[in-house]
Chain A
C-alpha cells in the first residue's frame, strides 16, 4: 500500500504568541517548532497500515528548510521517505494555493491513500485535507477517531455534535484525523530510528517540478489575506471569594452568579 502523509510544522502548543511589528503576523524568533500534533496521529496510522498491508510511507510537506527537522521526526518514527515543496514563489500562499501544490505533489507519488491531521494547531483553517481531496477528485472522510482499512476501502468513526457517524470510502481516498494523543498514542522515535532517519531519502521540489507556477498557487494567487491581528480582550481582574468555609463560599458564588452576573 502506497501511503502519503501530509505534514505541517507548527509552533509548539505551549508557545506564547506575540503579534509582530507589522500588526498582521506573529513573532517567530523564539518559537519552538514541532510536527503538528494531528499530523503526528496521521503518521502513526500510516505506520500501522504499513505494518498491516506492507508498502511505503512517504511524508509530504511544504515550507522553508526548518520543516525538514519535523519531517525527519516522522522518518525517525518509521516513515520511508520525504518530499518537501520549498519554493520562494510559495511564500505567502493561502490555503488554496498550498492545497493545489500538495495535491500535485501527492499525485506524483501515486498513493492509494493520503492521510493528514484534521487541523493544524497554528492558524487552524481546517481545510487542507478536504481541499487536497477535491483537487485530486477523490472522496475524503474527515475527523477520524478510529480507522480500519482492508486495502480497498477505508472505514472511520467521525464524532459529530451529540453523536457519531461511521463512514466508508473506496480507495484511493483521503482521511483526516481528529481525536487526541490518548486515542492514537503516536510512537516515539527510537534511537536507531533517529540514526536511520538521517540517511532516508528526502527530496526538495520546486513548483515547476509539479507543473505549477507562483501565479497558480503562490502569493500572486492569493484570495484571502490577514489584514490585521489583535490580542483577545483581557479579562478584568477577577475577585477571590472570601468565606469562613466551603459552604459559605458556595453560597456567595451562587449569589454572585445569580444576582450579579445573571448566568444562572
Chain B
C-alpha cells in the first residue's frame, strides 16, 4: 500500500454530486496527513469534461471511465472497472460517499478486493498513519470506532452532509487520465430511470427537515408541513406510525427502520418520540419539538420545546418564517 488516498466520485446527469465534493475534501485532509497524493475515480457517461473540476476540492488526479454503458450505476459493471483503478492507485485508503449507490458499490468492491468496508462513517482519523473511522451503530444509539488490520485496505463510506467541504479552489484543475474499459456482457439492465423533478429535497441530504407523527391525524394535514418545509427550503419526514398509516410514502420515514438524518434543523410536529424514531434523528444539529403532551419523550431530545396544539402553532410559525425570509 502506498500513502495516497483514493476517493470515488459520484456523478449524476454529467455533474458530480455534492457528496463527491465532501469525500474529495475529506480525502484531501487525510492525504495531507499521510503526505500522499489524492486521486479520484470517476465513472459515468459524458463526464470527462467535468472530471477535472474535482481539482477544486483537492483532487490531484482523476481516472475517468466514460462510456455510454456506464450512464447509470449497476454494481456488475461499475465494480470491476473501479476495482482495477483502485489496484492501479494502490492507495492507503479508499473513501466514497455513503449514498444509496455508494453503499452498494463499496460492499461489492470490498468483497472483490478482499478488503473491509466501514459503512456510513461520520469521522475519519489518521493518527500515526493508522486509519480509524467512527460510525453510528444501532441507528445512532451507539457509535463505534473501526480499525483495520495491518496490510488490509480500509474502504470507508462517508455519510452525506457530515464531512466539511473545502472552499472550492476555482482555478485548480485535476490531471485527467482516461481509462479504457472492457466491459463484460452484463446480466443486469437498467430498464427505467425517473428523477423527481418537483425540486423535492432528499431527506438524507436536507439541511432542514419538518417531520410529522401520529399527532398529524391524517394525510391531508401534511400539506401544512409541506408548506413550512418549502418556506425553509427543506424536506418533509415522517415517523413509522405515520408511514404505516399510509399518510406518507415510506421514503419519508425517519428512524431505525427508515432513514437516519442529520439536518441543521429538525422540526418534530406531533411526534411523541419512540426510541426507534429518536435513533434516526438524534444527530440533527438543532431540534424543535411541538407536541400537546408536555410529557412526550421527544422533548428530552429537543433544543426548543413547544407545548402547543401543532394545528395552531405550525401555521403561525410558517408565517413568522416567511416574515424573516422576506427581510
Contact = CB atoms under 8 A, between A and B. Distances in A.
A239 B304 CA distance: 5
Contacts of A263: 208, 264-265, 285-286
For chain A, the bracket of interface size reads: 35 or more
B322 to A, nearest CB: 10
Contacts of B149: 222-225
Contacts of B202: 161-162
- For the residues of A in contact with B, the DSSP-based class is mixed
Most A CB atoms within 10 A — which of B120, B286, B294? B286
A126 B186 CA distance: 23
Interface stretch (B30-38, B40-48, B103-111): B103-111
Nearest to B251: A159
A21 interface: no
Interface stretch (A74-82, A91-99, A186-194): A91-99
Contacts of B282: 232, 235
B140 A181 contact: no
Nearest to B314: A250
B303 A261 contact: yes
28 contacts: A96-B115, A96-B116, A121-B257, A122-B138, A123-B138, A124-B119, A124-B137, A124-B139, A126-B103, A127-B107, A128-B107, A134-B111, A139-B75, A139-B188, A140-B76, A158-B100, A166-B190, A180-B257, A182-B244, A223-B152, A224-B118, A228-B145, A239-B304, A240-B306, A246-B308, A253-B320, A263-B285, A264-B232
A238 B303 contact: yes
Interface of B: 17, 72-76, 79, 99-101, 103-104, 106-108, 110-112, 114-120, 132, 136-149, 152, 154, 186-196, 200, 202, 204-205, 208, 232, 240, 243-244, 246, 250-251, 253, 256-258, 264-265, 274-276, 279, 282-283, 285-289, 294, 299-309, 312-313, 316-317, 319-321, 323-325
A126 B110 CA distance: 12
Contacts of A96: 110-111, 114-116
Interface string A133-173: 11100011111010000000001011111111111111001
A173 B195 contact: no
Contacts of A195: none
Contact of B147 (A95, A224, A256): A224
Interface of A: 11, 13-17, 19, 24, 26, 37-38, 94-96, 99, 121-131, 133-135, 139-143, 145, 155, 157-170, 173, 179-183, 222-232, 235-236, 238-241, 245-247, 249-251, 253-254, 256-258, 261, 263-264
